[in-house]
Amino acid sequence: MYPTNNPIYINTLDDNFAKLRDFFYDHDKLTLKIRQNDILYDAEQVYFSTDKEDNLALFFFKDGLREITFSKGLTYEEMEDFLRIISLDFNREVLDDDLVTLFWEKDFQNIDYVVDDVVLSDEENYEERAVEEIKEKGPSEDNLQKAYEDAFRDEEEIKDVSIVPLADRDLQSLVVELERDSLDKIGKLFDILFEMLFMSEKNSDYDDLADFFMGAVEYAVGRGEITMVTDLLARAKAAADNKNYSDEIRNCATRIIYLSGSETVINLLGEILDTGQELEEKIIEDFIRYLDRNAIAPFMKVLGELRSIHARKIVIDALVVLGTKDIMTLAKGLSDSRWYVVRNIIYILRKIGDKRAVDHLLKTVKHGDVRVKKEVIRALGELGGSGVLQALRECLEDPDIQVRSAALKAFGNIGSEAAKKILLGRFLDKNFKDKHFDEKKEYFEVLARWKDKEIFDYFVATLKTRTFLGRAKNVENRSCAAYGLGLTGNKEALPFLNKYKNDSNKLLREYCFSAIKRLESG
């Protein structure tokens, strides 16, 4: 219920240990006798329950425990280990050990227990029956007599089996062998399964093998042995591509690759990534390279569940690689209810750079979250294509400045004549002049990217334009034009800029001055 550093947990243990210590002040042993429904100390019942579920006596009894003795000298660690064991959830399938095995493995020095092993025998009286049977087959005395007589004939002599005493060198070799043996065995199991693949004869053999490989892959991924799985996939790929092998072998190898991208495997990988276990990105990249497109959907699912940013980045990179195999499946992620998943998928589609994604992306332009909108606008700007300009044009009128700004940049990225025309057209809008200075400046900045004569002339014309009405706004426009001219890199703008560098308006003066500096410094 509590983590081990929780004060309640620690205090409970401390209290228990203090009680035991007090007990051992006067006694050497604390022996508890266990029966099905009760626990006795010194013939006195100290626990009773007839409950089937919540019954400590039965909990011990069913595994064969009949007596537990704690001895003076019991350490705090032993008591804690003991309590930890009995607190485990034994109903969980994954637990392969019962109470007695767990006690046995701990090898307690100060906790002894008596076990009734009757629970181990599958048959009643098996021992008696087997011993009786074997003894019934007793020899006749004549045979023994004959052995005695034969012993005096020179038929057989002592066999020469010399026992070579063990030397230090033997022990050293043994230590080396044991060290080598301590490595994980999963690689060996993969080797064996491959050998079995080549030995298989029936269809059911191949089906079994695919299941075994699957289990082994899940086991390996669950333990973070990704490189081992990558090696396996490389071998499976080689087998699948080898035309000298039978169709059955090649199909099975293909299935192994397919199954390695299953939801179970990818979920396990996600869990590993989320634990913060250090996994080099290269290891994951190598693994991903062998997966098939069926892994895309599970990866997208995992993407929405991961907690750590690092893990999400790895999965995103994986989808950038995998997504190329099936844009359609990837694009389904754009309908996810979580804004961050949608944004990640847009990022992935942008990185992949496949124009087939544009139609799907266009549907998200009107997404309710600004962060998604910005990402999709950026993606559309990089991908371009039909329908994009119209969508982006609408974005220029979005109430949110961030969206409008993203759209402007997207136009710049597209860099086409049509895009330029749309932006220039925006200047004619009667409301343009009323835009905030920064936004107007951004327009000029984006347009400066074209660096052509049309833009140059337009900027010079704007710089020169003087009005009487709305003078302040006009100065803003002229300053933006000066700024834009500086960005074009065209030194022909210098005479125009020099003309206004001493203008009475401070804003215009400053922007002209900056642009001149930029152009002169090249």
Partner 1 sequence: MDNREDVEIGRVAKELINQLSVVLRTAQIHDPNNIAVVSVIDKMTALVNHLIVSERVIALELRGEYFYINELRVRYALEHLLNFDFLVREFKKRELGSIVFKDKISPEDIKVFIKAFISSTFSSKPFDVIDEKLSVVKTITVDRLKKIVDEGALEPRKMVKKAYFNAVSYTRGVINKIQSGEKVNIKKAKRVVETMVDQILEQEQLLLGMTAIKDYDEYTYHHSVNVSVLSIALGQHLGLNRKMLTELGMVALFHDIGKMEIPYDILNKPTNFTDEEWKIIRKHPVWGVRALLKLKKLDTLTIKSAIVAFEHHMHFDLSGYPRTVKGLELDFFSKIVCLADQYDAMTSSRVYSRIPMSPDKALSIMMERAGKELDPLLFKFFTNMVGVFPIGTLVMLNTKELGLVYESNQLFAARPRVMLIMDTHGNRIKGHVADLTEKDARDQYIRTIVRTMDPNKYKINLAEYLL
Q: Which residues from 134-163 bind partner 1, rule CB under 8 A?
A: 134-135, 137-141, 143-152, 156-163
Rounded least distance, CB 362 to partner 1, Å = 47
- Smallest separation, CB 96 to partner 1 (Å): 5
The least CB distance from residue 78 to partner 1, in Å, is: 11
Is 1 or 161 the residue whose CB approaches partner 1 more closely? 161
Find the shortest distance in angstroms from Cβ 209 to partner 1. 9
Q: Which residues contact 17 (CB under 8 A, 6 or more apart)?
A: 76, 79
Binding segment for partner 1 (CB under 8 A), chosen from 9-17, 195-203, 354-362, 427-435, is 195-203
> Cα Rg for the chain, rounded, in angstroms?
40
In this chain, which stretch among 129-137, 360-368, 384-392, 477-485 interacts with partner 1, using CB under 8 A?
A: 129-137
Stretch that binds partner 1, among 209-217, 252-260, 325-333, 392-400 (CB under 8 A): 209-217
Window 272-331: residues binding partner 1 (CB under 8 A)? none
Question: Of 341, 336, 285, which is closest to residue 314 (Cα–Cα)?
Answer: 285
In terms of CB distance, is 129 or 363 closer to partner 1?
A: 129
CB of 374 to partner 1, least distance (A): 46
In three-state secondary structure terms, 480 is helix
- Judged by beta carbon, residue 211 or residue 280, the one nearer partner 1 is 211
Residue 193 near residue 209, CB atoms below 8 Å: yes
d(CA 10, CA 14): 6
Site residues (CB under 8 A) for partner 1, limited to 218-257: 218-219
In total, the chain counts a number of residues equal to 522
Contacts 24+ apart (CB under 8 A), 310-315: 310/273, 310/276, 311/270, 311/273, 311/274, 312/344, 314/273, 314/279, 314/281, 314/284, 315/270, 315/273
Minimum distance, C-beta of residue 85 to partner 1, in the bound complex (Å): 14
Helix axes 309-322, 281-289, angle to 10 degrees: 30
Which CB, 4 or 521, lies closer to partner 1?
A: 4
Residues 61-90 that bind partner 1 (CB under 8 A): 64, 73, 77
Q: Which stretch binds partner 1 (CB under 8 A): 12-20, 182-190, 242-250, 252-260?
A: 182-190
165 sits near partner 1 (criterion: CB under 8 A): yes
3-state helix, strand, coil in the chain (%, to 5): 65, 5, 30
Does 498 help bind partner 1 (rule: CB under 8 A)? no
Nearest approach, Cβ of 105 to partner 1 (angstroms)?
6
SS (H, E, C) 396-465: CCCCCHHHHHHHHHHHHHHCCHHHHHHHHHHHHCCCHHHCCHHHHHHHHHHHHHHCCHHHHHHHHHHHHC
Of 89-118, which residues contact partner 1 (CB under 8 A)? 93-94, 96-98, 100-101, 104-105, 107, 109, 114, 117
Query: Residues with Cβ < 8 Å from 355, sequence gap 6 or more?
Result: 383, 384, 385
Cβ 17 to partner 1 shortest distance, Å:
14
For residue 288, count other CB atoms closer than 10 A to its CB. Answer: 23
Classify residue 415 as left (phi > 0), alpha (psi -120 to 50) or beta.
left
For residue 83 the two structure tokens come to 């309590």
Binding to partner 1 by residue 198, rule CB under 8 A?
yes
CB of 180 to partner 1, least distance (A): 8
Q: Per-residue x/- mask for partner 1, residues 434 to 463, rule CB under 8 A?
A: ------------------------------
| Residue 171 found at the interface with partner 1 (CB under 8 A) | yes
Longest dimension (CA), the chain: 141
